[in-house]
Structure 1
Amino acid sequence: MSNNPLQDKEKVKCSAKTRRGTFCQTSPVTGKKRCRMHGGAKGAGAPKGSKNAFKHGRYSREFIENRRAATSRRREWMAFFREMGSEIRKTY
């Protein structure tokens, strides 16, 4: 290890993995672990609290509760119709 800070900086490489599974050979941006191409650039990444990845909400708590309530109502109606069907058949 030398006293030259530029030489030590060159030994540090980007911590991102390439498609081949090896590490990127580029040196990282100052103060970061990644190079400019792998997210070390200023402003890289989604802003805090971004909802851009939200697609449909099919698995959100509210949607699941609504689906369960609708299923139970449908089962109640089906039981009611079955009962009414048997009542109608008895009268004929």
Structure 2
Amino acid sequence: MQKSTINPLQKPSNISRAHLAARCQAKSKRTGYTCKAPAIRGKDKCRMHGGKGSGAPKGKANGRFRHGLYTDANKGEIACVRELMREFNQFAKEI
């Protein structure tokens, strides 16, 4: 039987990227401990806790896109119309 050349107390020089990666910051409700999986590069969560995705696609690429009334482009216009309606209703009450 040959003697093993691996010393478990000595740190290996070729540590994999996963071991050096930042850890996921997701916290368990049950135990209170954080997830110990490697986080996605540039994010603070792992692939299992939503680090990979960036949400639903914008506009027509999203399957639920219907008419575009409440899109980001129209939010400013909708707010302006609502403000005008408030002013008009206030003016109508004074008369």
More helix by share: 1
Higher gyration radius (CA): 1
For this structure pair, what is the TM-score category when the shorter chain's length is used for normalisation? 0.3 to 0.5
